[in-house]
Structure 1
Amino acid sequence: MKNELDAKFLLQVFEKIRQFGEKQDDKYRLNGITAFTDLDGYTLFVEDPKVKLQFGFHNQYHFDYESSEHFEQFQKKLKQIDEQY
């Protein structure tokens, strides 16, 4: 299944998680979503316990999840963060 990702939306949500989330080590957590970068800062990771998203250079991305229901719940959490903060 192909999942379309709006890079601007993701970057906006990532920044809100960093700004309003709780920092633990090099990771930020907000509303059940964890966000962090790799050492060089070029790759972003946004995840919850059931879905992992890796977003990198040239807007390349990869989702890892077991069911479409998990993916839909993950999308709802991202949209909620975007609207709430």
Structure 2
Amino acid sequence: MTHDEEVASVKVIDFCRTHFRRLGAEEFTKLGARSDDIAIAATAAAVDLAQHHAGDPVAAIAWVRRALEVIEADLPLTVETLQ
């Protein structure tokens, strides 16, 4: 990936995260949805999107796991993440 592609990728990811977070926090909670249900739905949607990208459910789960590993690698280490 070129530097320009990397910058564009980060912008798209940030935009989507902000949009999805706002949707979950504002719109769904107005409807009385619980935050854990919203988080589960967002996770299921991530798998759905990954399946569109990866082609099948097993590859989608593996793709989401890898994405979570990348996200975790950017977090500060704590006792919980080391378990």
TM-score, shorter chain, exceeding 0.5: no
More helix by share: 2
Taking CA–CA contacts closer than 8 Å with sequence separation of 6 or more, which of the two structures ends up with the larger relative contact order? 1
| Structure with greater strand percent | 1
Which entry has the higher C-alpha Rg, 1 or 2? 2
